[in-house]
Structure 1
Amino acid sequence: MLSRRGSGTSAAAPTLDEARLVDPEPRPLSARRIAASTPGKLTLVGVGLIALVLAAGALTSVAIVAREQRINTLHLVTGPLTNSTQELYSSLSIADAAATAGFLSGRVEPAAIRNRYNQAIGEASTALVSTTSGVTASDTEAAELSRNLSVYSAIVATARANSRVGNPIGVSYLNESSALMHDAMLPTAEHLYTKHAEAQANTQRHLAQPPWVALALCVVALIALIVAQRYLARLSRRRINPGLIVATALMALLAVWLSVAGLFSVNASAHDMAAAETTDALVRARILAQQARADETLGLLRRDTDTQSEQDYTRHIADLERILGEQRTTPAPTDASGRAVGDAVAALDGWQKAHRDLRDRLGAGDYVGAVAVAVDGGPDGAPAQFMRLDDALRGDIGSLREEASGYTSRSWTSLRLLDVGGATLGVLCGFAIGAGLWPRLSEYR
């Protein structure tokens, strides 16, 4: 019931709820709202940039370490193994050619031919040891080749002993040793050489490729730093951020360093690969020449005008002409290499002329005259022209090996300190980015 005005009773006065005076608990911000705020954006930019420059530095270091490991493998393992198998393959062919040539000189071969044979056998034994040192994959082939080398040397010794006493069966023993060489030993040596040469070429192909991934990441990090500076300039209305400028300069230094060092390394590796390819061609050319010389002398020993030896000689000479022709039309790695190939071609022409003379004399029944052309014949004879050819190829192979080793050393030198420098510059970039963004973040506290 309402009270009347002027009566002694009044309405109850409103009361204050003190609980309403307490500030309500703040609601936590969501991750999306934090990220959308200016401090959140700056934090994300900073974390992203730091992660990017650290990744660029780390990837550069990893790429350079991997490249250095390949260069070490090429210099200490693959290259020496390829050279050893080259020496093995060549030495076996030289020994076979010298053994057959010695029989044309009479009962006792000249000291020069005997020394050439002994030296070739010794070099083959040394190369065989070097080829199989620490390489388990070729142990079976090497063991077989080592046994066959001992058997071959014994058969040649028996053939020589029979030849000294005038026993014609010595030629049969020589045929047996030559068959062992051509049917078993040379194919095995060729397989070993081809396997190691392919491994060397594979390593060189990897080294001839620039470190594209590391370089691309450095460029991406550099672009990201430039974009971040423009964004920060619009956000804070400050055109210059010293920390980000330092980080940009450091990343630009890393990108330039990697580009220049990679360019020099790739250029040296490309020259190394070209020298190795030319060396491989000349090694095969020299082996073909040795085999053709063995075919030539063995055909005379058999005293036939149309033998398998003559057919093999023709095939080997054709392959030799093809290789030398390709080398003449291909730019030589060095001027000396080009001159050596030219000398080899001229010597091959002289040798073929002497061989035609030999075959004409043999066809006319002048066996003694044919032997004279094959064994002596003066400066225009078969042995002189063959030695001229072999000396040209051997000298060029040696110079190309030295050149390839020099290119490998240059490739290594160009990458020096870049593995450590890449990681260091990446870390310094990260600190510079943090130093550049921290003052801006502290303004929002």
Structure 2
Amino acid sequence: MASTDLWLVETAPAGQPGGEPAGRHHPHRRVDWARTAPGRLTMILLVIVALGGATGLAQFLAWSQRSALVHGMATGSSPLGLSALDIYRSLSDADATVASDFLIGGTGDPELRRRYLTDVVKAAEAINVAAGAVDSGSAAAQELATLNIHLPMYTGLVESARSISRQGHALGAAYLRESSALMRNTLLPAAQRLYDTDKGGLASAQRRASAVPWVVVLMVLGTIGALVLAQRRLARMTKRRLNWGLLAATAATVACLAVTVAATVTARDNLEEGRRHGSEDVQILAEARTAALQARADEALTLVARGGGRDFEEHYQAAMARLDGLLAQAEADVSDAALQRTVRIVRQQVRTWAGLHRKIRDLDDHGQYTDAVKLATSQDAGGITIAYLRLHDALDREIAQRNTIFADTAEQARRAIVWWGAGALALTLIQLLGAALGLQRRIAEYR
């Protein structure tokens, strides 16, 4: 009897005295379920869904990051880069224009006065636009602060020079030289550093936007491998060679890899084209335009100095040599026929300008100052002013055209990335749905 009672206690059902507490599942039962065919299939499904979801998330993050980078380029590289170019051009032109104005007494030509004031207003507007695109405390913000502080000082010196010159005092030329020194030693270097800051950021953005997304590629390859292994395992378990759901999921994942590679190659090619035919050309042309502006100002300041402008003449010669070298480089490097024609036209205007400048120097050196000033400020069709304006306007047009080319190619790269994002999302959903349907049907067969 005692042995019988002991057997009853040991085999009491769960929830009864001496038995396993009600509602508690033994861990061995979960292990046993995982070893069954439906359990193994369910675990395979969970692994594939987790890999597919993680891959889709990685693609979304890569797509959103690259889309933001290229969007910044497509809007004109960036507000900071365009503003820096506008600041530099406007300030350089203002310096050259006010120097030319002084050759006719500083009371001047209403057109020159209007051009100078327009340049100052454009520079101030570009500084305000750039200020909205930088973080406070950054290096770019410091350069903008320098420009904001010294631009009013420059215009004040110019107005003082004009006022004194109108009274017939030679001291006006000293104020003009002081204003030009402030422009060249402080304002223009700050604008150049501002442009260099943006140029470095643009180059970094181009590299990141065109790089192969290796994390995404490896995750997609891992998902493909998991799907292939799942199909092999399922074939051994069910004795069926094909599972149409898993086959569709595998095809969708392979297509997703193809879309990723194609979008990356397309975006890289577009950005490379934009760099070669856009940003690089803009840099050379902008430097050539700056050299021309500096040479024009130096030419006028040499005459304003009335025999004491040797330094300005040396600066003029250096600027013209740099201008000719940049144009020669542009003509040799570019493959765009239209740009080559423009560069040849500009070089012809430079030669015309240089020939007239030699006549100006010859007249001035031989005491014919009035004739030298007249030749330097002549508005005749074959005069030096017309030659300068033609080359300046031609460079302006080409810079605008190259910026448009860069923006267009960046926009094409952005479209490729957008299609990548949309295609990757759709294919990821197909992959997850195919895997779920393909394995769920097999799991249901065991119920």
Q: Same fold (TM over 0.5)?
A: yes
Distance apart, 1:86 and its partner CA: 0.7
Map residues 63-82 of structure 1 onto 2, 5 A cutoff.
Answer: 63-75=62-74, 79-82=78-81
Query: Which residue matches 1:437?
Result: 439
Query: Which residue matches 2:223?
Result: 221
Q: Which has the larger radius of gyration?
A: 1
Question: What amino acid sits opposite 2:414 in the alignment?
Answer: W
Between the aligned partners of 2:384 and 2:154, the Cα distance in structure 1 is 26
Distance apart, 1:397 and its partner CA: 0.9
Give CA deviations for 1:348-381 in whole Å, capped at 9, x if unaligned.
2222222223223333333233323321274443
Query: Which residue matches 1:318?
Result: 321
Contact 1:265 1:410 in 2 (8 A): yes
Query: Which residue matches 1:4?
Result: none
Between the aligned partners of 1:209 and 1:344, the Cα distance in structure 2 is 38
Distance apart, 1:265 and its partner CA: 2.5
Give CA deviations for 1:184-214 in whole Å, capped at 9, x if unaligned.
1111121112112222222222223243432
Question: What amino acid sits opposite 1:151 in the alignment?
Answer: M
Distance apart, 1:417 and its partner CA: 5.7
Contact 1:57 1:425 in 2 (8 A): no
Question: What amino acid sits opposite 2:375 in the alignment?
Answer: V
Question: What amino acid sits opposite 1:273 in the alignment?
Answer: R
Distance apart, 1:67 and its partner CA: 1.1
Secondary structure in structure 1 of the residue aligned to 2:257: helix
Secondary structure in structure 1 of the residue aligned to 2:197: helix
TM-score of the superposed pair, with normalisation by structure 2: 0.85
Unaligned 5+ residue runs, structure 2? 14-25
Question: What amino acid sits opposite 1:129 in the alignment?
Answer: N
Distance apart, 1:386 and its partner CA: 1.5
* Candidates 151, 156, 159, aligned match of 1:157: 159
Contact 1:348 1:389 in 2 (8 A): yes
**What is the total number of aligned residue pairs between the two structures?**
427
Decide whether aligned partners of structure 1 residues 364 and 35 sit closer, same or farther in structure 2, where only a CA change above 3 A counts. Answer: farther
Distance apart, 1:443 and its partner CA: 5.1
Between the aligned partners of 1:66 and 1:164, the Cα distance in structure 2 is 59
Contact 1:58 1:423 in 2 (8 A): no
Question: What amino acid sits opposite 1:59 in the alignment?
Answer: A
Between the aligned partners of 2:435 and 2:133, the Cα distance in structure 1 is 50
Question: What amino acid sits opposite 2:302 in the alignment?
Answer: G
TM-score of the superposed pair, with normalisation by structure 1: 0.85
* Candidates 189, 192, 195, aligned match of 2:194: 192
Contact 2:231 2:243 in 1 (8 A): yes
Between the aligned partners of 1:133 and 1:77, the Cα distance in structure 2 is 15
Decide whether aligned partners of structure 1 residues 51 and 405 sit closer, same or farther in structure 2, where only a CA change above 3 A counts. Answer: same
Unaligned 5+ residue runs, structure 1? 1-15
Query: Which residue matches 2:16?
Result: none
Instruction: Kindly report the root-mean-square deviation, in angstroms, between the aligned alpha carbons of the 2 structures.
Output: 3.2
Query: Which residue matches 1:127?
Result: 126
Secondary structure in structure 2 of the residue aligned to 1:365: coil
Between the aligned partners of 2:254 and 2:52, the Cα distance in structure 1 is 11
Contact 1:61 1:419 in 2 (8 A): yes
Q: Percent identity?
A: 29
Secondary structure in structure 1 of the residue aligned to 2:240: coil
Query: Which residue matches 2:254?
Result: 252
Give CA deviations for 1:371-399 in whole Å, capped at 9, x if unaligned.
23321274443322221211111001111
Give CA deviations for 1:199-235 in whole Å, capped at 9, x if unaligned.
2222222223243432343244234423433443344
Contact 1:88 1:127 in 2 (8 A): yes
Query: Which residue matches 1:86?
Result: 85
Contact 2:76 2:82 in 1 (8 A): no
Between the aligned partners of 1:220 and 1:287, the Cα distance in structure 2 is 54
Decide whether aligned partners of structure 1 residues 414 and 134 sit closer, same or farther in structure 2, where only a CA change above 3 A counts. Answer: closer
Query: Which residue matches 2:363?
Result: 361
Query: Which residue matches 1:371?
Result: 373
Secondary structure in structure 2 of the residue aligned to 1:415: helix
* Candidates 141, 162, 169, aligned match of 1:167: 169
1:287 aligns with 2:286: no
Point out the more displaced range, 139-148 or 124-133: 139-148
Distance apart, 1:118 and its partner CA: 1.4
